[in-house]
Amino acid sequence: MSASDIVVLGRLADPYGIRGWLRLHPYGDDPLAWGEMPVWWVGREGGPWREVGLKGLKAHGDGVVVLLDGVPDRTAAEAHKGLLVGAPRELLPVPDEDEFYWADLVGLAVVNGAGEALGKVAGLIETGANDVLRVVGDDGNERLLPFVDAVVLEVDREGGVIRVEWGADW
């Protein structure tokens, strides 16, 4: 499985307990639904990815914890900290018209209402309140734009552009 076939769904974070559980930092709204996938893929940015079975997935406090095959204890869990969790695009549900996988937004050009190019989406940040687009301009200037209706006017995936209400000098 090549890295381009995988949609990143989240990141494995700190170990939880001593039996191999890990905290999961999801990049989506419903990580508990991932429990229906028979296999998860884990890897680092740019790959390679490897399949791993899912032994457990549950809500815990205000987060989610996961237990993977081959991760029997805290030491093994620590070795998985920071790995990305993904799935092949063909196994994922098609998002609604106003929903997007983060992977579909990265690389899109960002243009404001005045037609000024602000840069390209280099990544997204989950803040708890809302997601934030990390936009990097050709000059290396980085902008953080909240991914909310008041700022993001249109996402045109086919056209490769996100139109925003955001000044070039902000």
Do the Cβ atoms of 155 and 108 come closer than 8 Å?
Answer: yes
* Distances, alpha carbon 104 to alpha carbons 6, 16, 73, 91, in Å: 11, 31, 35, 15
Q: Is the backbone peptide bond immediately before 48 cis, with ω within 30 degrees of 0?
A: yes
What's the mean pLDDT in 106-119?
96
pLDDT tens digits, 100-110: 888 889 999 99
Domains along the sequence of the chain with CATH? 3-91 (2.40.30.60), 102-164 (2.30.30.240)
pLDDT score of 25: 92
1 — pLDDT class (breaks 50, 70, 90): low
pLDDT tens digits, 121-151: 999 888 878 889 999 999 999 999 999 999 9
pLDDT tens digits, 46-97: 779 999 999 999 999 888 999 999 999 999 999 999 999 998 888 887 888 8
pLDDT at 2 over 60: no
Tokens of 10: 């989240």
